[in-house]
Amino acid sequence: MNRLHTIAAAALLAAIGSAHALTPAEVDAARANGSLKEVTVAGASALRLSFAAYAGEILSNMHRYQNDAAGNNHRAYAGVLNQAVGAWGAGTPVVIYKRDQGGSGQGVNPVATAAPIAHMVISGASCTAGAGTVAAPFLCGTTENRVSDAGISDVEPALLQKSVNLPAGTPALTNEQLTNLDVAPLVQGIFGVAVNKKAYRALQMAQGIIPVGGQMIDVPADQNTWTAATLATIPSLPTEFVRSALSTGGLNGGNGNATTKRGWNIVIPPSVDPNVMTKTINVVRRTEGSGTQAASNVFFLNNGSSELGAVAPLNVAGSAGNPTVVHRVTGPAFVVQEGAGTGNVEDGLGKVSAADTINSVEEAADGDGIAYGLGVLGRENNPLRDGGDKGYRFVKLDGVAPVRALAKAGDYPFVFEATMQWNKAVVPAGSEKAAFLTALRSNLGKPSALAATDSNTQQGVMSPPASYAGTYADATGDAALFGSRVARQANNSASPLRIIK
């Protein structure tokens, strides 16, 4: 009997080893013979890297697909399972689609209503170029409308039904529709405030981290090498300043600031930037429907379960899709750029800084007028990833750096719990797809799973307290690194963050 088991195991390993990662032609073939399993997930672009990391953990020889070179809207991961996941055994060919376009809202409302939305098409006819790797993904520009199997949101589905978080023309879900969702926590996400490099350097000068006119001190690209000395070089913004910058009527930049003196001069004095009184408030933000934007709205502006005390978020109707951010020395009080995905905010902040000669000693007094800008991003994003430089950096809030070690201990509060959900009528309980999605949801946020992700992803995610055994104080191994001791009330992001473990 043992010999039979050995032969069977060897045959399985040979089958897995011989199955190259799924190229477009191999996807076509597996689809044609009925062996291919395809799972479509939408929402929460802030968690796109965590999602990709888990896909890489369960898929052998994984190939990556994107809608274009940037991959801001659609990505997918294809390979054979290297372990049993749910009812699907090792060796099963699987494609997991992840739509980022539209953010968390696309992982909630269309899922609840079973409404078809655009998902990327993978086939030999629709995909070109690339080798399927991270550096050279296959590019697949065709989409088709399909009902998502599941959705991910940075905050609970109910919060995304508030008017400030709903895209224009999107009706809020009914209680019955919300109840028909199978919802559970996925992972805790850490968010941060980012500024373009021009503002980062000016803040370093303003706070005495570097002398006026000095060169910017940068952080190492590998966040695992950050030390206390690294954190000491990161400048800080007061929560009140960010709150004011992100809210209607909060700050007044441009020429008007010379009168109100309520602009960038609050945090950057004229001794650092003689032109600070004319600098516009450039805000690069996500569109309505984004979980990152909803998290920003509830954290900074009190747009939570109640309308009482809520402050209207700064936005400009129709700014989504604008390919550039306006850079101004003088002009309106603020310029807002909205984007449907995390990559759009990264690109927008980079454009604010595009013409900036960051380390020129003469820059502080050269009057070039390059703008200052800020935005909110999930902390798993790294502007220095893969040897590039996207032109922005994360800053501290009230003197506390947005790093996992501080957030899991309760010292950094910009933390919210992401959820994963599916429509019970679309994915019935007991189905193979339900088993796969349940395993994905249960395992993606565990300490051991987060430990397998790359160092950038690890800075943006934590394991919820319920995902690991024992106390926080006695945690060891992966649980000590990734286990959080804090949480908000279940399905209530407006509740305070509390130490519960």
Q: 213-239: per-residue pLDDT in tens?
A: 999 999 999 998 999 999 999 999 999
Using one digit for the tens of pLDDT, what is the confidence trace for 127-179? 998 888 877 999 999 999 999 999 999 999 999 999 999 988 889 999 999 99
Using one digit for the tens of pLDDT, what is the confidence trace for 338-348? 887 788 889 88
Using one digit for the tens of pLDDT, what is the confidence trace for 86-113? 999 999 999 999 999 988 889 999 999 9
Q: What is the mean pLDDT of the chain?
A: 88
CA distance 198 to 206: 12
Using one digit for the tens of pLDDT, what is the confidence trace for 407-455? 999 999 999 999 999 999 999 999 999 999 999 999 999 998 888 888 8
Using one digit for the tens of pLDDT, what is the confidence trace for 119-133? 999 999 999 988 888
Q: Which helix (H) or strand (E) holds 316?
A: none
Res. 36: pLDDT tops 90: yes
Number of neighbours of residue 143 by Cβ within 10 angstroms: 17
Domain residue ranges of the chain, discontinuous segments joined by +: 2-154+420-465, 191-407
Number of neighbours of residue 155 by Cβ within 10 angstroms: 29
Asked if 492 and 294 count as a contact pair (C-beta separation under 8 A), the reply is no
pLDDT at 369: 53
CA angle 385, 387, 389 (to 5 degrees): 70
CA angle 239, 241, 244 (to 5 degrees): 110
Number of neighbours of residue 211 by Cβ within 10 angstroms: 11
Res. 477: pLDDT tops 90: yes
- The distance from CA 238 to its chain's CA centroid, rounded to whole angstroms, is 23
Phi, psi at 199, each rounded to 5°: -70, -40
Number of neighbours of residue 179 by Cβ within 10 angstroms: 11
Query: 191-407 has which CATH code?
Result: 3.40.190.10
CA angle 162, 247, 203 (to 5 degrees): 135
Asked if 262 and 234 count as a contact pair (C-beta separation under 8 A), the reply is no
pLDDT at 13: 33
Q: Which two tokens stand for residue 363?
A: 């820059």
Q: Which two tokens stand for residue 398?
A: 């009230």
For 21-73, strand residue ranges (E) read 37-42, 59-66
Asked if 496 and 420 count as a contact pair (C-beta separation under 8 A), the reply is no
